[in-house]
Amino acid sequence: MNRTLKFMNLRTVLTTDTVELHLKGTTKEEIIDEMLGVLVKAGKVHDKEVAKASVLDRERKMSTGMKHGIAIPHGKTDTVDDLVACIGISDTPVDFDSLDQEPCRIFIMTLSPVKKTGPHLQFLAEVSLLFKSAEKRQEILNTSDKAEVIRILTE
């Protein structure tokens, strides 16, 4: 697959409206709730409670806390029309039941319609590849500019 095409997906899904630099939550559920709030405010999610139930249901099956301080909470719900995503950065590490047992500070939430599988899986694969770079993770934690977060992710 052509690299520029691949990154266009992230660019089209993420906007400064869907980046939150200072998440306040201190628990997995609070972070999920806060990130859903970002998506609702950006007009991307029609029903926050239904969306939250799908994300929490997914978390019960297996934590989406990855490695290197990153969590990718996600779910499938018909409260979105297409794949939507947001990024949140927490000033303080949050226990997210991660694979490496380390707390998380970078959260990428994605929701997609129940009947659409392709974009969801592609997005998750793309995002997990981006975060293999310790340098990019540090850049994201250090920035105070929402547009810069998107630039770091899509360059």
Q: Identify the pLDDT of residue 139.
A: 94
What are the tens digits of pLDDT across the range 76-116?
Answer: 999 999 899 999 999 999 999 998 999 999 999 999 999 87
The boundaries of the domain holding residue 67 are: 3-154
Residue 1 has pLDDT above 90, yes or no: no
User: Cβ of 58: how many Cβ atoms within 10 Å?
Assistant: 17
pLDDT band at 9 (very low <50, low <70, confident <90, very high): low
What are the tens digits of pLDDT across the range 56-85?
Answer: 999 999 999 988 999 999 999 999 998 999
pLDDT band at 3 (very low <50, low <70, confident <90, very high): very low
What is the reported pTM?
Answer: 0.90
Q: Identify the pLDDT of residue 2.
A: 37
Domain count, the chain: 1
- The answer to whether the CB of 33 falls within 8 A of the CB of 40 is no
Nearest CA among 87, 86, 73 for reference residue 136: 87
Mean pLDDT of the chain: 89
Residue 20 has pLDDT above 70, yes or no: yes
Q: CATH number of the domain at 82, please.
A: 3.40.930.10
Residue 8 has pLDDT above 90, yes or no: no
- The answer to whether the CB of 41 falls within 8 A of the CB of 7 is no
Residue 49 has pLDDT above 50, yes or no: yes
